[in-house]
Amino acid sequence: MDFAGLWNTLTATQPAPPHWLVLGSAAVALLTILPHPVWRLSRNVVTIAHEGGHGLAALLTDRELAGIRLHSDTSGLTISSGPPTGPGVILTAAAGYTAPPLLGLGGAALLAGQHVTQLLWIAIVLLAGLLVMIRNAFGVLSVVLTGAAFFLISWYGSSQLQAAFAYVGVWFLLLAGVRPVLELQGKRRHEGARNTDADQLAHLTHIGPLFWVALFLLTALAALALGGSWLLAL
Q: How confident is the model at residue 188 (pLDDT cuts 50, 70, 90)?
A: confident
Q: How many Cβ atoms sit within 10 Å of the Cβ of residue 18? A: 11
Per-residue CA distances from 17 to 21, 105, 159, 161 (Å): 6, 18, 9, 10
Question: What's the residue count for the chain?
Answer: 234
* Three-state DSSP class for residue 69: strand
* CA torsion angle 191 197 198 200 (round to 10): 100
Measured in degrees and rounded to the nearest 5, phi and psi for residue 15 equal -60, 145
Q: How confident is the model at residue 192 (pLDDT cuts 50, 70, 90)?
A: confident
pLDDT at 225 over 70: yes
pLDDT at 1 over 60: no
For 107-125, what is each residue's pLDDT tens digit?
999 999 999 999 999 999 9
Eight-state DSSP code of residue 136: S
Rounded mean pLDDT, 22-41:
96
Of 9-13, 37-41, 120-124, 225-229, the one with minimum mean pLDDT is 9-13
* Three-state DSSP class for residue 56: helix
Q: How many Cβ atoms sit within 10 Å of the Cβ of residue 169? A: 24
Rounded mean pLDDT, 30-38:
96
| CA angle, 205 then 175 then 111, to 5° | 105
Q: How far apart are CA 59 and CA 53, in angstroms?
A: 10
* Three-state DSSP class for residue 65: strand
H-type alpha helices, the chain: 3-11, 19-31, 36-60, 87-112, 116-133, 137-156, 159-176, 179-191, 197-205, 209-231
* Three-state DSSP class for residue 199: helix
Whether this model's pTM surpasses 0.75 = yes
Eight-state DSSP code of residue 14: -
**DSSP bridge pairs for 50:** none
Of 184, 206, 187, the C-alpha closest to 85 is: 206
